Amino acid sequence: MTAFKSAVLALTAFALTALAMTATAEAAPRIVFKGCAVWATPTCLMMKATNGKVYSLVGAGPAFPAGRRVLAYGRRSGDVGLCFAPSATIVGFRVLPPGPC
């Protein structure tokens, strides 16, 4: 097998793996969060979902308002990690009127 064929085969395998991972991530169930996110540690932003489970929020960005009521949507993105909770990637959110958390 020539070097060119080996490179094409490797790139094809990489592309198929990436497609499979993307399809799996997109198939993850949507999670709804309503309430206030809190900093458990300086690196762990945590929030309870409407299903009663607590998740570590990933990808929420610096604009995500910790300590304020929000309605957020996300997808489960991994197993239990450094924050000792399953992680969820935030897809979108909106700030709710002030009220109890």
pLDDT digits (tens, 9 = 90+) for 33-68: 999 999 988 888 899 999 999 999 887 666 788 889
The domain that holds 37 is classified in CATH as: 2.40.50
Question: Is the pLDDT assigned to residue 22 strictly greater than 90?
Answer: no
> How far is residue 73's CA from residue 55's CA, in Å, rounded to a whole number?
12
In angstroms, the first-to-last Cα distance of the chain is: 63
The whole domain housing 59 covers 30-95
Mean pLDDT along residues 10-17: 47
Lowest mean pLDDT among 12-16, 49-53, 90-94: 12-16
- 90 in any annotated domain: yes
17 domain residue, yes or no: no
User: Which runs of consecutive H residues, i.e. helices, occur in the chain?
Assistant: 3-26
Predicted pLDDT at 1: 59
Inside any domain, residue 78: yes
Q: What is the pLDDT, as a whole number, of residue 79?
A: 83
Q: Is residue 39 part of a domain?
A: yes
pTM, entire model: 0.65
